[in-house]
Amino acid sequence: MLLELSVGYSSKSVTLIMDGWHMLSHVLVLLLAWGAYLYIRLRRHELTQQKEHRVLALSSFASAVALLIVTAFMVYEAIEHFMHPEIVVTKESFAVAIFSLFVNAISAYVLHREEEKMDLSLKAAYIHVLSDVVLSCFAIASLTAIYFAGINWLDPLLGLVGSAVIIRWSIGLIKQSWRDALR
């Protein structure tokens, strides 16, 4: 995350910046999920299965809201870079984008393998990681287009497209987790 933010800001790549900020939201998601599981484990004797499910649904809801907040910042960054497209493509920016894709793809694969057993809290973590895979692909595509064809506007455009995808996933998760929390 810090590597992506550092290289993203130095190269002025919206997609790397977005991926870095989005990865920061993973810290919050993982802390929320960990907190929900810890709470359930500490109160296991007091909680019914329905209440455990609500705790996990509320954790998922909070994660999806955090994802929307981070994505709003990402939209702002993309719009700002649309107005001032000054992207510097370096070997480091390619390396960071490819490394990020590799790490995110492995994480998504590990989380997806357990999908049939997945509760909403884990689903929130999976959606966060899956959206990072998308952002990493967009970063590689935009850096390639800028390097070989000088298409600077593609970086902020893909940043906005990535934001739209993440917003759609977040809203779906918010609706589902809210319904489950109210059951």
For residues 106 and 127, what is the distance between their CA atoms, to the nearest angstrom?
Answer: 14
| Domains of the chain, start order | 2-182 (1.20.1510)
pLDDT at 115 over 60: no
Question: Residue range 17-42: average pLDDT?
Answer: 79
Q: How many C-beta atoms lie closer than 10 Å to residue 143's C-beta?
A: 25
155 touches 35 (CB < 8 A): no
Q: How many C-beta atoms lie closer than 10 Å to residue 37's C-beta?
A: 17
pLDDT of 102 reads 92
pLDDT at 111 over 60: yes
138 touches 104 (CB < 8 A): no
Integer angstrom CA distances of residue 168 from 35, 41, 64, 174: 26, 32, 11, 10
For residues 137 and 177, what is the distance between their CA atoms, to the nearest angstrom?
Answer: 28
pTM check: above 0.75: no
Which tokens hold the place of 79?
Answer: 């719009």
pLDDT of 86 reads 75
pLDDT at 116 over 60: no
